[in-house]
């Protein structure tokens, strides 16, 4: 059983709130898109209005990346969204951070520095070991409770996600609660159930396809995007050098064998593209798989019309559609059609669930609306859609209880 904010005695309590505000970053190192911050406003404003003292914990980017920046601009933006001052401290668990947390009054909020500035936070631990890291031992003494609202990071076993709820009473925030409500009951959604697997995270997507086919969760798996290209190659289609080089450069060449194994085992339930769109002389040009390989330097950038018709027929019979990853390079106007049409068709099903940060931003860009649920999570949603437990959610389930007020 996971406790929620309804179970937390908030007034005067110092709460560490883990959020996921991992966002696109501008060239000047500041926040470029506040969608993920906005998602957490309900949880944070509820805690503040109920008299909590809130210390916000979050990561941004990965070490070495251009988006691996401080959370100062996130804190500034949060202050506008919450319509109250939000302090920022350039420390996460040092004495400076602890001192700031100790001086919070009821209704005050501070954003601590990017948790991944500390190497332990970019490692995976079991919860007991995570509880002994510097971040957890540093913060444990100044926090009374822990709230996890970072559903999108819950597939990671990192200290701020699994260590803090091992030593502190743990609660799901409102985002986490909503995501678990919808994604935690995938098995109860109506049949037939179709998974649409696109985008560029080929290994994760093949894991999902294996799992949902093996467990009988998927009546059909529809493939698109880079994932669809890998399945086409696995099926013996010559996609040409440009698409093959791209797959090789992304480190997904070995996935072709896994895709072939999956086709051997469950080929009757896996739908492959029947045509692809390439860039020919600057225009979109569609080629049936029988007409492949494409010309020199041409790469499969989207699914074509005949694939769309085929996939739309499968979707027409689906009661539940679960989608992750765009069908093509949606960032380029010429290759948005597959994503727009496929996702638009899915909104006609009684239950349509979308996972993936890039997918959500593609849909915003393309103006496609009307899904039953758009998840804040990419990898986390994928894992949950296979009915697998998420380490940070398990840690919350096992968290100690909040001591009674007079203890
Ligand atoms: N045929 C293709 N060739 C090259 N890139 C493609 C193709 N189809 C889709 N993509 C790219 O895939 C990327 C998105 O894939 P990704 O798997 O990251 O999506 P996501 O699951 O929604 O994201 P996340 O898990 O990060 O939230 C886009 O940048 C898009 O351009
Ligand atoms: O953006 C995400 O999917 C989450 O914030 C997790 O980020 P990570 O993949 O860098 O751990």
Interface pTM (ipTM) of the complex?
Answer: 0.92
Pocket of ligand 2 (CB under 6 A): 20, 22, 62, 152-153, 156, 357, 378-379
Ligand 1 in contact with 223 (CB < 6 A)? no
CA distance 104 to 97: 11
Ligand 1 in contact with 57 (CB < 6 A)? no
Given this model, what pLDDT does residue 186 score?
87
Q: State the maximum Cα–Cα separation within the chain, in Å, rounded to a whole number.
A: 76
Ligand 2 atom nearest the C-alpha of 156 is 11
Q: Are 232 and 272 in contact (CB under 8 A)?
A: yes
Per-residue pLDDT, averaged over 314-318, amounts to 97
Res. 407: pLDDT tops 80: no
Q: Which ligand is nearest to the CA of 278?
A: 1
Percent of the chain with pLDDT strictly greater than 90: 90
Q: Considering only residues 87 and 362, tell me which one the structure prediction assigns the higher pLDDT.
A: 87
Taking only the tens place, the pLDDT of each residue in 132-148 is: 999 999 999 999 999 99
Given this model, what pLDDT does residue 362 score?
84
Domains of the chain: residue spans and CATH: 5-180+390-397 (3.40.50.1260), 191-349 (3.40.50.1260)
Residue nearest to atom 30 of ligand 1 (CA): 329
Distance 402 CA to ligand 1 centre (A): 42
Per-residue pLDDT, averaged over 371-383, amounts to 89
Ligand 1 in contact with 359 (CB < 6 A)? yes
Ligand 1 in contact with 324 (CB < 6 A)? yes
Res. 388: pLDDT tops 90: no
Ligand 1 in contact with 304 (CB < 6 A)? no
Taking only the tens place, the pLDDT of each residue in 290-310 is: 999 999 999 999 999 999 999
Percent of the chain with pLDDT strictly greater than 70: 99
Q: Which ligand is nearest to the CA of 385?
A: 1
Res. 59: pLDDT tops 80: yes
Q: Are 60 and 25 in contact (CB under 8 A)?
A: yes
Q: What is the pTM of this model?
A: 0.85
Distance 53 CA to ligand 1 centre (A): 39
Ligand 2 atom nearest the C-alpha of 378 is 3
The binding site comprises 20-22, 36, 59-62, 116, 156, 331, 356-359
Res. 351: pLDDT tops 90: yes
């Amino acid at each position: 059983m996971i406790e929620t904010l309804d179970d937390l005695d908030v007034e005067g309590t110092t709460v560490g709130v883990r959020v996921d505000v991992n966002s696109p970053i501008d060239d000047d190192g500041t926040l470029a898109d506040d969608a993920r911050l906005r998602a957490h406003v309900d949880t944070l404003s509820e805690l503040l209005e109920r008299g909590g003292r809130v210390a916000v914990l979050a990561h941004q980017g990965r070490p070495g990346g251009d988006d691996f920046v401080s959370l100062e601009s996130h804190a500034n933006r949060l202050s506008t969204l919450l319509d109250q001052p939000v302090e920022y401290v350039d420390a996460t668990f040092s004495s400076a951070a602890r001192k700031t947390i100790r001086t919070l009054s009821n209704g005050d909020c501070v954003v601590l520095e990017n948790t991944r500035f500390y190497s332990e936070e970019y490692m995976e631990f079991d919860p007991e070991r995570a509880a002994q890291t510097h971040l957890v031992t540093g913060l444990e003494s100044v926090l009374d409770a822990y709230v996890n609202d970072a559903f999108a990071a819950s597939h990671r076993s990192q200290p701020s996600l699994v260590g803090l709820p091992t030593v502190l009473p743990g609660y799901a925030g409102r985002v986490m609660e909503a995501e678990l409500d919808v994604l935690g009951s995938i098995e109860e959604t109506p049949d037939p159930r179709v998974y649409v697997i696109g985008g560029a995270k080929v290994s994760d997507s093949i894991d999902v396809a294996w799992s949902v086919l093996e467990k009988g969760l998927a009546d059909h798996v529809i493939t698109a995007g880079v994932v669809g290209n890998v399945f086409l190659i696995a099926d013996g289609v010559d996609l040409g050098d440009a698409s093959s080089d791209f797959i090789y450069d992304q480190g997904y060449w070995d996935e072709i064998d896994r895709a072939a194994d999956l086709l051997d085992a469950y080929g009757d339930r896996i739908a492959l593209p029947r045509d692809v769109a390439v860039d020919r002389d600057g225009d979109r040009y569609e080629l049936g798989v029988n007409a492949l390989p494409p010309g020199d330097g041409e790469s499969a950038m989207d699914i074509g019309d005949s694939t769309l018709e085929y996939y739309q027929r499968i979707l027409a019979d689906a009661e539940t559609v679960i989608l992750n990853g765009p069908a093509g390079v949606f960032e380029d106007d010429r290759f948005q059609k597959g994503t727009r049409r496929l996702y638009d068709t899915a909104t006609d099903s009684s239950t349509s669930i979308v996972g993936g940060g890039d997918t959500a931003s593609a849909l915003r860009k393309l103006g496609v609306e009307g899904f039953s649920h758009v998840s804040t999570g990419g990898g986390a949603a994928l894992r949950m859609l296979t009915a697998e437990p998420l380490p940070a959610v398990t840690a919350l389930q096992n968290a100690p209880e909040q001591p009674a007020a007079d203890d």
